Structure 1
Amino acid sequence: MIQNEAHLINLDRYPIHRDCPERDAVLLQVRADLARDGCAVLKGFLTAEAIRALTAEAESVADKGHRSFSRTNAYFTTDNASLPEDDPRRQFFDRSNAFIPADNFAPDGPLRRVHDFDGFDRFIQECLQEENFYRYADPLADVIVNMAEEGNGFPWHFDTNNFTVTLAIQNATGGGSFEYAPMIRQGGENFAEVAQVLNGTSDKVTVLELEPGDLQLFRGRYSLHRVAPLTGDRRRYVAIFSYVEEPGMVGAPERTQQLYGRTLPIHHERAGQRVDSYLD
């Protein structure tokens, strides 16, 4: 086990734990990237030692991942026959993926220790420049690992939570690029542009090739995105930290069941408590 949390994060390059000109410069660059298209990547955020530790931890709980195979639209809703056939809400795609729920990661494990590192939340909040900023209160989803194998992927979708922070841990042998259409749902559903992304005619799609140790900040509530199908026999692991605008927010029961294979009482107690009216 890594004894010193400072060995997890590349603090020479990203001194998130102290106020200094180097930290200010990182903030300026991240903010500029987020303002441009809702996505910023901090290359080499983790140390090589941390990458090894997080990979080992993910491997140790891989059997806890919930695998699901279904057909879904970008909003995780059921079909509505009253809409036109070419409406994006009626476009369904194969989804094959696995998530290792948050309650499988120990408080003293490397994943939680990165999340709880002194200054981590404050740094993320200052990057996003959000006054209302809270950790996702979902006990199954505040910090999870996405696990994908050959043939898996995640079709086009919008996130339920407003801010997603991810750490690339291990790439598959091939495939798995992160593709997104920046901010196309900001200010409205914009079904026409969503339809173009889904049918492959949009010129607004950006493709990212993330490497192990990269930290990504992404506004997935507003940007349609997907993970391209994987190839090869090596699993892809990506840690996901989630933040929202209101305290106490958790996932909807239907979507939680889809993603994690189970729900908890809190998901039903807080069903319908959202701060916006976007489709999920």
Structure 2
Amino acid sequence: MKAFNTGDDAVLALVDTDRYPIDALETVEGAAFLQDCQDSMAEHGWCNLDGFIRPEAIAAFREEARALLPTAQTLRVRRTIYQGQVEDGLDQDDLLNREYTHVAQQLADDQIPASTRIKQLYHSPLLTDFVRRVQRKEQLYICADDFQALNVVALNPGGRHAWHYDTTECTVTLLIQSAEQGGDFAFLPNSRTGSSEDKAAVRRLLGGDMSHAQTFARGDGAFTLFRGGYSLHGVTEVEGNRPRISAVLTYDEQPDRVISEDINIRIYGPRVEQIIAQRNQGNQP
């Protein structure tokens, strides 16, 4: 692997472009690769690229994550699958109206230095353009939210990521360190659109019926694109002795997309609540 240089587009040093030519999508080989990715998104609602990050680079990502995670808060979040937003008219005991618990060590975007490899990767124009083209979008941007744009999440043994929809449409995850066992990515493909939801299928899944869910294990360095705003998803219980560490890269079609204060406080807890309160106080006349 060539030496990491923040003056280069990060993908040229970090991504295995021999296997995944995201820097040459106009070539015959690159166009065929892109078509495969687009077809997977259309058919399954996801595109999974194992070994997307070079082994040497993913080792460096692990070192960076382990160095930063002691500063992360352990978040215990109770939320509905809609991130706390409950639709009117649902019964109190409806599975769609139930709160589910998510426990994780989580670094928000403002806690990840710009000098880290993972942040350089996220800010790569080549990577953003690749994600845009896989999603068949006219335009796509990294998320402008101070907290949700890029996150690093550690699920310790016994932990899981509760079922939920993302607050933005396009979500990408990078597996930095897999669990010894478990910790598989699971989701219900295309369970809702912008105007409707297959509530019967969602209720079956929340009730324990996994027959229509898709679950797959990933190795370190796997890069997965999925319709997180349209496919209910989560992570199965982590087993063994080491945490599962992943990065969540968020994109949006709007260049100034930010998440509501209420959702950010619900996800990130007292630290972000204090930051937001200080900002609001400073904005008062």
TM-score by length of 2: 0.86
8 Å contact from structure 2 (residues 83, 167) kept in 1: no
| 5+ residue gaps, structure 2 | 281-285
Query: How far did residue 134 of structure 1 move?
Result: 1.8
Q: Which one of 94, 105, 111 corresponds to residue 104 of structure 1? A: 111
4, 16, 22: which one pairs with 1:16? 22
Question: Percent of aligned pairs with the same residue?
Answer: 28
Larger mean CA deviation between 47-56 and 254-263 belongs to: 254-263
Aligned residues: 269
Q: Which residue of the partner structure matches residue 186 of structure 2?
A: 179
Could you tell me how far apart the structure 2 residues matched to 1:266 and 1:251 are?
A: 15
The one-letter code matched in structure 2 to 1:151 is G
1:154 to 144, 158, 161: 161
| CA distance 1:80–1:222, shift in 2 (3 Å) | closer
Structure 2 residue 245 is matched with structure 1 residue 244: no
- After TM superposition, the structure 1 stretch with the greater mean CA deviation from structure 2, 196-205 or 159-168, is 196-205
CA pair 159-266 structure 1, distance change in 2 beyond 3 A: farther
Q: Deviations over 1:155-184 (max 9, x none)?
A: 111000100011111012221111100001
Task: Give the letter aligned to residue 252 of structure 1.
Answer: S
Partner of 1:278: none
How far off is 1:229 after superposition?
1.4
Give the conservation status (yes or no) of the 8 Å contact 1:179–1:205. yes
Distance 1:117 1:132, change over 3 A: closer
**Contact map agreement 1:102 1:140 (CA 8 A) in 2:** yes
1:41-56 superposed matches below 5 A: 41-56=48-63
Provide the C-alpha distance between the structure 2 equivalents of 1:198 and 1:268, rounded to a whole number of angstroms. 38
Query: Which of structure 1's runs of 4+ aligned residues deviate more than 6 A?
Result: 78-82, 266-269
Paired position in structure 1 for 2:283: none
Distance 1:137 1:172 in 2: 30
* 1:244 alignment partner AA: D
Distance in 2 between the 1:174 and 1:236 partners? Answer: 10
Give how far 1:77 is off: 2.1
Matched, 1:131 2:138: yes
Distance in 1 between the 2:256 and 2:168 partners? 12
**Alignment root-mean-square deviation, CA:** 2.4
Structure 1: unaligned runs, 5 residues or longer:
270-280
- When the two structures are superposed, what TM-score results if normalisation uses the length of structure 1? 0.88
Determine the C-alpha separation between the residues in 1 that align with 2:278 and 2:188. Answer: 30
